[in-house]
Amino acid sequence: MTSCTFTATNPTDKEIEICVYPGTEMICSDDKTQNIGTCGTARLVIPPGKAGPFLPSSASVKVRAVCLNMNKKEPDGNTKFKIGGPSSDPLRRLARFSEKERFKSIVEQMRVWIVTDQATLAEMQKHLMFPKPTPGQYLRALETVVTVGQEDLIGAKYAKCLDPSLISGAPTTVEAMNCFVGLMEKANPQGFSKAASNPKTFDPL
């Protein structure tokens, strides 16, 4: 999770209001650094300029954001972005969901990287270290990608995300575990059966 600051100037003699909605992709000026996506609404009200283009007024607002390219560098406070277009449908849905969530956590970033990078838990743990993501959080992220993002995880694209060993990923929510069981029954029933062959695996349930 990160944040970005929007700054806009107004050289006109009229007040201007600008609104950037959740799920807007911000394009980084450095191709080696991650783009980010907004997961909150940025609203700026810029008063009229004091002397037209010679003395424009300005306004800034900070908004929460997530990184969109896991294997690129993380943005820092000096990274510059320009406003791009809307993100994909699943990412826009997840962004709107994030804005309304009462409690924020690294699960927000995890579910985005599942969609953008098809990232596994082990891959995320190399990038998110403090705190390090847990199997239970990964299961929650998968469940939200399916139920909120409406992304179909069955198929080759997301095959590596559906690791049968995640069945032992407690503590997690009942909804997340049920979702994972349903996914594995369709995606890899043999691997799921093998992972579940040890009775201790089902202790979390």
List pLDDT tens digits, range 101-113. Answer: 888 889 999 999 9
Between the alpha carbon of residue 46 and those of residues 11, 26, 158, the distances in Å are: 10, 21, 44
74 vs 194, more confident? 74
Quickly state the pLDDT bin for 86 (edges 50, 70, 90): confident
pLDDT band at 198 (very low <50, low <70, confident <90, very high): low
- Tell me, what's the pLDDT at 205? 45
Q: What is the mean pLDDT of the chain?
A: 89
CA distance 23 to 39: 6
Taking the C-alpha atoms of residue 133 and residue 156, their distance in angstroms, rounded to an integer, is: 24
The reported pLDDT for the residue numbered 1 is 61
